[in-house]
Structure 1
């Protein structure tokens, strides 16, 4: 039996800033049945990924063992890796944050921070020591809301951030957000990891290069560290000062409200996958399962559970090759729970093309496992 899950309508906003200081009332907001959204407000400099976006650092430079640890040392460690981003176009301007990922001058930020500059306009990157450089968009991916900038004539003394494995995070772990919310440069806020694998859809869908609507869906880290307009593209770091996520959006009670203690960050796992592809090829491929799904309730071992229900299977796609069938209910992927269609989409998008995954499914009341190799989305 297929049951549609009642949706909770929240106002969600991205956290890009505007070029000039604004009040929260001017922020763009969107009511969505999801957990993220769009915001506008002043810029935010932030920390960045390690000198190689593909390999986590092995030795932390600073340790703040708990929420009561030495966060001042963590802030000092991360600050040089944080930049603020200012975008100037003929239609106006915007601002946000970015993270230095290598010594060659590559900076990670959110796609929505620089989207207005992709067809002309100027991007300025301001380092923590106030030096200002022009930058260009090396590559951008609206589906993951990530972009890579390249600083022109990058100085030799850049400080890339160290990158941790976001898969090692646990709920309750202390974290710090670094950025420039509402134009207040060098701001750091602390909190905890409130939830993991939080499926989030942020903002409205934008047309992709092919003209198709491309919704932003991420398998996000939820945090209580205060994130406000201007934090977009900034760093979420662990107690060792290592990057675990890219701050991207907040939940809000209305178009005029600010932080309410629910912020979201794109995982370093997904960031590394997208950034590596941009640096290598300039484009990004996304994983594809090849099913249409909806929210359903299935019965497992005498109990009812929410699942992602398979509504249809694309011919010759990965799911068809693995013999997934219409009516199957997907409960988990690689032992990570799936309780909705959005949850499954977020989990798939976080994984690289070619990944072999194990799906826990229910078919005709019987639990079983199916192994699928994810292909590149057509």
Structure 2
């Protein structure tokens, strides 16, 4: 199963989705003793109170956070964004802004459309910051949480504008943390490989990208960015499998863009090469050929050169450009790794001190 962008730049002309239903049969032992006794009134009351308390929490979170989630019109596409501060900065996905420089921004109430301009886009992490040209009174910045406190099983809400339906909310849980996924470079994606992603069962549909993944403390813990697709279903969305950029990376990128107008310290490791995927005699991906090695860069310093074919990073096999990016995603600039490569008919290994994207 591949992870591909949730196509947040959804066209304004929308095709209704077909609805379907699935029945699940549960098999279990049967005692033949008839139906189980009804729950005692006290138990029923306790269950009702618990359900009511959870519902009240949902409503409180929505009241707290939804005013900070906006809809972004970028050319003929639509996506979502989060108000980052009271100065009018809004953080979103790079694939939401695309190549546009100016945007129409609608707040949750939808009463007025505001103009915004691009501050900077960072496709390598699929993040961007835009700024409102005029900051309205009462603009509310979202509260951002702590990535280290995100745990599997946490209840989360996804807020955004799926299919152009502004101020929509879906619910789910954190399904996993620390995922590394790669976007498609087609269909509006940036082609980035993204590390430490938060996997969630909350529905992420076209238009949700750039919005907010929120915990029950009304804190943003991630930006919904990708929905997984299933090739067996014709690359249609795989229900209940979506990914959000963790809040730690959101803060890192947004703070640098707001301060310097660009990302000055990515924190992402690199070999400092240009490469291409090569295939073997049976036309199967077999490694990454170095097209060029940056002068003074990590690969060149370690003795690698154009024409070498990288086949492993440490113990991880490398067959494509994407797998090379994924192998480096969890490493840090300045870290030493073993790089196995072919030069002619010989296999060699070099210790490379990684550079930075």
Q: TM-score higher than 0.5 here?
A: yes
| TM-score of the aligned structures, taking structure 1 as reference length | 0.63
- CA offset digits 1:323-360 (Å, max 9, x no partner): 99x8875369xxxxxxx644333335xx6xxx66587x
CA contact (8 A) 1:179 1:185 kept: yes
**Larger helix percent:** 2
What are structure 2's unaligned runs of at least 5 residues? 19-50, 277-286, 305-309, 317-322, 341-350
| TM-score of the aligned structures, taking structure 2 as reference length | 0.67
Aligned-partner Cα distance in 2 for 1:204–1:163: 29
The correspondence of residues 1-378 of structure 1 with structure 2, limited to 5 A, is 13-23=6-16, 70-88=57-75, 93-118=76-101, 122-130=102-110, 131-204=112-185, 215-219=191-195, 220-253=197-230, 254=233, 257-258=236-237, 260-285=239-264, 286=266, 287-290=268-271, 316-318=296-298, 330=314, 341-348=324-331, 374-375=355-356, 377=357
Structure of greater relative contact order (alpha carbons < 8 Å, 6+ residues apart): 1
CA contact (8 A) 2:154 2:174 kept: yes
Q: Call closer, same or farther: CA 1:102–1:148 in 2, change over 3 Å.
A: same
CA contact (8 A) 1:356 1:371 kept: no
Aligned-partner Cα distance in 2 for 1:343–1:79: 34
Q: CA deviation at 1:268?
A: 1.2
Q: Call closer, same or farther: CA 1:12–1:160 in 2, change over 3 Å.
A: closer
Aligned-partner Cα distance in 2 for 1:129–1:346: 39
Q: Aligned Cα RMSD in Å?
A: 3.9
Q: How many pairs are equivalent? A: 285
CA contact (8 A) 2:94 2:190 kept: no
Q: Call closer, same or farther: CA 1:257–1:321 in 2, change over 3 Å.
A: closer
Aligned-partner Cα distance in 1 for 2:238–2:82: 22
Q: Call closer, same or farther: CA 1:206–1:224 in 2, change over 3 Å.
A: closer
What are structure 1's unaligned runs of at least 5 residues? 1-7, 26-63, 208-212, 295-308, 333-339, 364-369
Aligned-partner Cα distance in 2 for 1:157–1:374: 44
